[in-house]
Structure 1
């Protein structure tokens, strides 16, 4: 018996089941770190101070966290897509004058608390809905790059001016990079399954709508049970495609977790090195974190005299160009587009780093 076969028959039953599922999801997400702390350090007795134990904890915790995020986000996007037609989505982001769609997509990315890995399902959904690839890439860049947690922490740690500079830089990179990539005609380098996504779930919706429209006086909108079924179908289809790459990406992040010590960074990316911004970007790429996770290292490096533009470039490279993210994106982008994506974003980050160093010195 599958989950779909156990779905309640009434709207009230669907609502109660939904509340229970959300509560279980939130509980699992909140307890995730505590469970691995107990299991590895309490039950098994590993020493948390050792690098192997820390790497194992990172891998298990982050794998579970991203799996929960992916499941929740994919399901929510799948259900929402039953309310929003392809034509409406295309009209919102794809039917604008050139550049306007990139601005709107970048703004939407800032408003969504997705990490790099979690933004991939939304990327697939946007492309499948007919949104231009350049506009969708603006969302993919902005979503992890500029988030409310990092803004709040930067505001309280370094002041509102630095926080606003961070927001402006992230939006600029997302808008310009998406526009440039869109002008390059890179859609031919997107994996075919992204351009024709979720055929099984789409067929469910199309069949239901066609049958409803054919019946006299029938309600053309899908039933709650069908919406849930479509959401679950999309979870299964996308996770099946990206799961191996997710494990590889998180594994890389676990291996190199904590690799760059602050003293090494300060020595090679300090104010005396004219190539400090480039060094910061190169050092940030192998790391795996979100902007909030990178902030403690950024604060420690600021105390050592590393320029603010260099620190912002480092934080942006950690979030937008990490190796684990590139591994996961490889599943949806072919190598030419992946290289162009990384190159354009890297150039933007380096330019912003040097610009901010010039402004803030």
Structure 2
């Protein structure tokens, strides 16, 4: 989708700045340019589209319907399935997370999307089939969807809405007031656009500093942490290899397609597949750059709870993978 952007980043780093592709600085800078522009584009599009949606649909009614109606967990499953068809990394999923929250979607349902989206997508599935076969791929897809669904249910049960930042609460209040005004005055889309545009730029202004810091951290990690750095901790004889692999993966940062070749190498070196996949899930689903982006919408306590629940689910998945496979 963003190949053209990657070409621009390559041109700026390798041609204009004349940096060597083998340099850590070049790799980190290339990553920073590409991801910053990509996420800002996604933010702009998602916030604008959600602004239009919010101007027509009552936020409270959507929220109340999803919160109070007995959908028997299907809303969490649907959010996870939506995550499967959106090929974003963890940081790229954050713009949609903001849009979900702003649209009045319950926090647990939103978390289900945020967890599944970076873990399972069509690119990762295609690579997984080629590297590990159909059986392993099916188990991986099902486990990724279940991970998002179960984590979302747990996080919703904890009733964590009070741990959203004051910035998010202000955005939600503004969105509701604007929507009420639109309905009361029966404005056309053309009449609504000025307020929607103002809202887009207001939200972007609040989020951009966190985007830049988060991606800068991700770029440094991407460029300077060697891929084989953690292999010695994942030995098959180590009973605690799965939790260690999951926790040590957090400083890394990559999308599923970028880390899968590394997983193949780890498995080829004798590391159990479940341990290697737990490492991959930790890299993709839990990252410091993602935490920096989420800091704008979540308090530190909420980020810690979110990471804790997902980490626990990944560890359980890793052990189950090792038993099944």
When the two structures are superposed, what TM-score results if normalisation uses the length of structure 2? Answer: 0.90
Structure 1's 35 and 303: CA in aligned 2 closer, same or farther, altered over 3 A?
same
Q: Secondary structure at the match of 2:171?
A: coil
Q: Distance in 2 between matches of 1:263 and 1:140?
A: 28
Q: CA deviation at 1:326?
A: 0.8
1:272 aligns with 2:237: yes
What is the aligned-residue RMSD (CA, Å)?
A: 2.4
Q: Distance in 1 between matches of 2:156 and 2:94?
A: 18
Q: Distance in 2 between matches of 1:270 and 1:79?
A: 52
Q: Which moved more, 1:299-308 or 1:81-90?
A: 81-90
Q: Distance in 1 between matches of 2:257 and 2:66?
A: 29
Q: Distance in 2 between matches of 1:230 and 1:112?
A: 28
Q: CA deviation at 1:299?
A: 2.0
Aligned twin of 2:216? 251
- Structure with higher Rg: it is 1
Structure 1's 96 and 313: CA in aligned 2 closer, same or farther, altered over 3 A?
farther
Q: Secondary structure at the match of 1:94?
A: helix
1:61 aligns with 2:26: no
Structure 1's 258 and 306: CA in aligned 2 closer, same or farther, altered over 3 A?
farther
Structure 1's 234 and 261: CA in aligned 2 closer, same or farther, altered over 3 A?
same
Structure 1's 128 and 59: CA in aligned 2 closer, same or farther, altered over 3 A?
closer
Asked if the contact 2:47/2:99 (under 8 Å) is kept, the reply is: no
Q: CA deviation at 1:48?
A: 1.4
Q: Distance in 2 between matches of 1:243 and 1:266?
A: 35
Q: Distance in 2 between matches of 1:92 and 1:291?
A: 34
Q: Secondary structure at the match of 2:271?
A: coil
Q: Secondary structure at the match of 2:19?
A: coil
Q: Secondary structure at the match of 2:91?
A: helix
Gaps of 5+ in 2: none
- Paired positions, count: 324
1:106 aligns with 2:71: no
Structure 1's 132 and 162: CA in aligned 2 closer, same or farther, altered over 3 A?
same
Structure 1's 31 and 210: CA in aligned 2 closer, same or farther, altered over 3 A?
same
Structure 1's 149 and 274: CA in aligned 2 closer, same or farther, altered over 3 A?
same
Q: Distance in 2 between matches of 1:113 and 1:133?
A: 21
Q: Distance in 2 between matches of 1:313 and 1:163?
A: 14
Query: What aligned pairs does 1:93-172 form with structure 2 within 5 A after superposition?
Result: 93-97=66-70, 99-172=73-146
- 1:84-139 CA-partner distances (Å, limit 9, x unpaired): 43255336633432633322322232233333233333333333443332222222
Asked if the contact 1:201/1:230 (under 8 Å) is kept, the reply is: no
Aligned twin of 1:211? 185
Q: Distance in 1 between matches of 2:172 and 2:305?
A: 26
Structure 1's 84 and 155: CA in aligned 2 closer, same or farther, altered over 3 A?
farther
Structure 1's 232 and 295: CA in aligned 2 closer, same or farther, altered over 3 A?
farther
Task: Pick one of 259, 263, 269 that aligns with 1:294.
Answer: 259
Q: Distance in 1 between matches of 2:94 and 2:227?
A: 31
Task: Pick one of 283, 289, 309 that aligns with 2:274.
Answer: 309
Structure 1's 32 and 124: CA in aligned 2 closer, same or farther, altered over 3 A?
closer
Q: Distance in 1 between matches of 2:110 and 2:293?
A: 17
Q: Distance in 1 between matches of 2:111 and 2:281?
A: 16
Runs of 4+ in 1 over 6 A off after TM superposition: none
Q: Distance in 1 between matches of 2:173 and 2:156?
A: 25
Q: Distance in 2 between matches of 1:65 and 1:249?
A: 13
Query: What aligned pairs does 1:328-339 form with structure 2 within 5 A after superposition?
Result: 328-339=293-304
Structure 1's 31 and 231: CA in aligned 2 closer, same or farther, altered over 3 A?
farther
Aligned twin of 1:235? 200
When the two structures are superposed, what TM-score results if normalisation uses the length of structure 1? Answer: 0.81
Q: Distance in 2 between matches of 1:149 and 1:358?
A: 26
Q: Distance in 2 between matches of 1:163 and 1:226?
A: 49
Q: Which moved more, 1:191-200 or 1:287-296?
A: 191-200
Structure 1's 119 and 238: CA in aligned 2 closer, same or farther, altered over 3 A?
farther
Gaps of 5+ in 1: 1-25, 213-221
Q: Distance in 2 between matches of 1:296 and 1:266?
A: 14
